[in-house]
Amino acid sequence: MDINKNIKNINSNITNTVKSYLPLQIQYLFGVFGLGLFFMLLYRVINFAVHSFMTFSDVNIILLLRSLLMGIVFDTVTMGWIFLPFALLMAAAAVFNINKRWFYRPLHLLLCAVCAFAFFITCADIAYSIYFGTHINIIAVSWLQSPSYLKALFLRHPIYLLYLSGYLFSMVWFVWLMYCLYNATLLKTIPPYRQVNRRLNTAVSCLITAVFFFAATYARIPGKQPLNVSDAYISNNEYFNQLSVNPLFNIAKSMQEESLSNIPPITVVNGSTAKKVVEEQMFMRNDKTSSQISLPAASNIVIVFMEDVLADSVSSKDMPFLNSLMRNSVSFSEFYPDGENVYNGIYSTLFAMPNVLSENSMNTTIVPRMQGMASVVKNHRYSRIFSARREQKYANISRFLAYNDFNVIQMQKDLKLQQQIKTLSEQPFAFLACVLINAGKDKGKPSQNTDREIKQFINQAKQQTWFNNTLFVFTGTNGKDRIPLIFYMPKVLKKAVVDNVASQTDVMPTVLTMLDADYQNENILGLNILSSQRTFAVSSYAHSLVVRDKDWKYVWRDSGQESLYYKGSDKQGVNYIKANIQQAEKMKTYGFSMLQMTQYKINQYKLLRR
């Protein structure tokens, strides 16, 4: 017995020295990080396989590779968030040479659990995205937290059990790989093993590790803001763009947005008052076109968005071609922009909803299901096209429009006019086409460059069979004063000038009523300005709100200053607010009522997306 005891004591004192260039803690950390990236990539490939099998479409290897590479960027950021606290603990353990089992074992088990949860969300997102056509977000998570909802989900869709089985199988594989990694690294820091590293190597490697994971959490595309969902949009294919986005990243971004939206940015008008004002304006609406302006059946619609073009620019000097078209068109003399940015005008024109203080209403992680122009004409078998000489991820436009029923999106910096015309000519049905003209960086005045491009566009369109059956809508996208709105269809429309006060939110109901006399939509905040009189036109900017009618212009500034101008008196700096406080208050109430009701409706639309 004494001999056996002595042998046991001798064996316990034997130390196995482990030498390595990198501390074993850092090797373990990057080993797990690599496993995480591998499994995220694996689930992305499975998503592609399931999607291709169920839809028999989108089998494009080049786009798949581009999407997988972009997905690694999103996965790196996501894993960086997860691994940062573990990286700091492992770096500290390497620096201070911690060799306790009670320290490493719980960390290992916790990291396994965190990764397993991350993989569960990623795997569940495959089923969710196939069914809903979008990634899991914070609203969906709130639904999935309900046991009764989950039970009903599995009963209605037993195929989800197959996804669950696949996840469990992959977790068995992951846990075994983690066990092997732990034994090869962290276990060898615990007696009877002893890790031997140079202090300089340890310090440098731990510093680099900490910097790497801090950098991963703040990753950004070169020259851009921190990584956002819109950065995944690198092609014209909606599926492959979505495939790049990590679902955990999507949830985190949606949580961030929802937490910010819980702080109401606008509380100027009492809620009941705002509702009453909007209801009164909408109650006065007349969606029937009293002047009997109607388009032939299945007419095409081409909306030409002109960047940085004001109404005064449509002159014989600056824009002679558009000016000549206007003399044979229906034009609007009191038409005002919704905001100061290009994306503000595109959004309000196509969805008949105001922007809120010039925010980009399309740049949201949770994309609301709107009832916009594309969704309406889709029911009449129209093709829905958007084209612009902009990069694919500009302002999240392509993602927002794709979610809201635009089926062809062309966005690239070198997009040619011939390519745009060809796309329209290839459509098998009638089409709604939106073309953004951005000519401001060419030589000469922006308005003159835009006029030349419009001339080329119309001249080429005249050579196509669809020209005579097409309504062309020319409108400015942004500005701080009147912008043009011109309806051009020479075979159908006669010259007319409409002086009703109007906003970009009114374009959609006006055009759709011309196309379909029975069109009505109570869920938008636009009016058919050919037959209804808008009380005021509202324009919201980053730090101010402007409300106009034919005589007055009210300006509210976030500094608290208010002004009321009469027919251009703002240019002389003459403020009439003290003498006309009731008029100013009426316009202020109207403007903020519209914005507050907009916020309410958008939140309701987001719930439809789940």
Co-location of 364 and 506 in the same domain: yes
pTM of the complete model: 0.82
**For 100, left (φ over 0), alpha (ψ -120 to 50), or beta?**
beta
Res 213 pLDDT > 70: yes
Nearest alpha-carbon partner for 555 in 571, 393, 605, 109: 571
Band (571; pLDDT cuts 50, 70, 90): confident
Closest to 603 in 3D by CA, of 376, 252, 416, 369: 369
Identify whether residues 253 and 373 lie together within a single domain: no
Do 279 and 165 sit in the same domain of this protein?
no
Rounded-to-integer distance, Cα 285 and Cα 530, Å: 11
188 has pLDDT over 80: yes
Q: Are residues 429 and 501 in the same domain?
A: yes
Q: Give the residue-averaged pLDDT of 367-395.
A: 90
Boundary-marking domain end, from 468, 502, 535? 535
In the chain, what percentage of residues exceed pLDDT 90?
Answer: 45
Whether 81 and 226 have beta carbons less than 8 Å apart is answered as: no
- Kindly report which listed range (32-36, 158-162, 332-336, 498-502) carries the lowest average pLDDT score: 158-162
Contacts 24+ apart (CB under 8 A), 210-217: 210/87, 210/88, 210/91, 212/87, 213/80, 213/83, 213/84, 213/87, 213/88, 214/80, 214/84, 215/80, 216/76, 216/77, 216/79, 216/80, 216/81, 216/83, 216/84, 217/77, 217/80, 217/81, 217/84
* In a shared domain, residues 287 and 367: yes
Token representation of residue 78: 């996501």
**DSSP line for 359-397:** --TT--SS------HHHHHHTTT-EEEEEESS-TTGGGH
Q: What is the mean pLDDT of residues 284-289?
A: 57
* Contacts of residue 575, Cβ cutoff 8 Å, sequence gap at least 6: 563, 564, 565, 569
Rounded to whole angstroms, the Cα distance separating 473 from 467 reads 13
**Boundary-marking domain end, from 514, 535, 556:** 535
Residue 462 lies in a domain: yes
pLDDT value of residue 586: 94
- Of 335 and 606, the structure prediction assigns the larger pLDDT to 335
3-state SS, 223-241, equals CCCECCHHHHCCCCCHHHH
CATH of residue 401's domain is 3.40.720.10
Q: By mean pLDDT, which of 101-105, 145-149, 186-190, 528-532 is the weakest?
A: 145-149
The per-residue pLDDT for range 302-346, each reduced to its tens digit, is: 999 999 999 999 999 999 999 999 999 999 999 999 989 999 999
Q: How many C-beta atoms surround the C-beta of residue 140 within 10 A?
A: 22
pLDDT at 262: 45
pLDDT in the model for residue 130:
75
Residue 390: pLDDT above 50?
yes
With tokens 């482990």, the residue in question is: 18
**Residue 544 included in any domain:** no
> CB-based contacts of 200: which residues, under 8 Å, 6+ apart?
none
Burial 220-242 (b: 16+ CB within 10 A, else e): eeeeeeebbbbbbbbbbbbbbbb
Quick one: tokens of 389? 């000489």
Residue 356 has pLDDT above 70, yes or no: yes
Residues of the chain above pLDDT 70, percent: 87
Last residue of a domain, one of 232, 258, 284: 258
Mean pLDDT of 475-493: 93
251: domain range? 17-258
282-296, 330-344, 508-522: least confidently modelled range = 282-296
| The pLDDT of residue 263 | 40
Calculate ∠ Cα 568-573-575, nearest 5°.
Answer: 85
106-122 mean pLDDT: 94
pLDDT at residue 166, as a whole number: 86
Does the bond joining 191 to the residue before it have cis omega, within 30 degrees of 0? no
To the nearest 10°, the Cα dihedral for 568, 573, 574, 578?
120
* Residues 307 and 204 both lie in one domain: no
Distance CA 157, CA 213 (A): 39
User: Residue 388: is its pLDDT beyond 90?
Assistant: yes
Helix (H) or strand (E) holding 194: strand 193-196
Q: Considering the domain boundaries, does residue 250 fall inside one?
A: yes
Q: Domain check: are 60 and 162 in the same one?
A: yes
> Do 439 and 453 contact (CB within 8 A), yes or no?
yes
Average pLDDT, whole number, for the chain? 85
CA gap 439, 307 in Å, rounded: 8
User: Which pLDDT tens digit goes with each residue over 256-278?
Assistant: 776 655 444 566 777 788 888 88
* Least confident among 3-12, 154-163, 175-184, 447-456: 3-12
Could you please report the per-residue DSSP string of 42-55?
HHHHHHHHHHHHHH
Q: Does any domain span residue 280? A: yes
Which distant-in-sequence residues (6+ apart) come within 8 Å of 500 by Cβ?
Answer: 332, 334, 529, 530, 532, 533, 534
What integer pLDDT is reported at residue 280 of this predicted model? 81
Q: Are residues 122 and 169 in the same domain?
A: yes
Residue 440: pLDDT over 50: yes
* Per-residue pLDDT at 430 exceeds 60: yes
Query: What backbone torsions phi and psi does residue 17 show, to the nearest 5 degrees?
Result: -80, 130
Tell me, yes or no, whether 221 lies in a domain.
yes
Please tell me the predicted confidence (pLDDT) of residue 253. 84
The total of other beta-carbon atoms located within 10 Å of residue 146's CB is 11
DSSP-derived pairing of the beta strands 330-332 and 485-488: antiparallel
CB-based contacts of 510, cutoff 8 Å, min separation 6? 526, 527, 528, 529, 530
Please give the backbone phi and psi of residue 301, each rounded to the nearest 5 degrees, phi first.
Answer: -125, 125
Q: Is residue 351 part of a domain?
A: yes
**Is 244 within 8 Å of 67 (Cβ atoms)?**
yes
Which helix (H) or strand (E) segment holds residue 181: the answer is helix 159-184
Shared domain check, 516 and 474:
yes
DSSP per-residue letters across 78-133: HHHHHHHHHHHHHHHHHHTT---HHHHHHHHHHHHHHHHHHHHHHHHHHHHHHHHS
- Domains: count for the chain: 2
pLDDT at 414: 86
> 168 and 34: one domain?
yes
Strands (E), 372-469: 383-388, 408-411, 431-437
Name the residue with tokens 């007349």.
286
E-only strand ranges, 221-351: 300-306, 330-332, 335-336
Q: What is the pLDDT of residue 104?
A: 92
Instruction: Flag whether 558 is in a domain.
Output: no
pLDDT at 287: 55
- 3-state SS of the chain: helix, strand, coil percent to 5? 55, 10, 35
- Beta-carbon contacts of residue 148 (< 8 Å; ≥ 6 apart): none
Q: Are residues 251 and 290 located together in one domain of the fold?
A: no
pLDDT at 75 (0 to 100): 93
**Pair 62, 155 in one domain:** yes
| Residue 429 · residue 382 · CB < 8 Å | yes
Residue 4 domain-assigned (yes or no): no
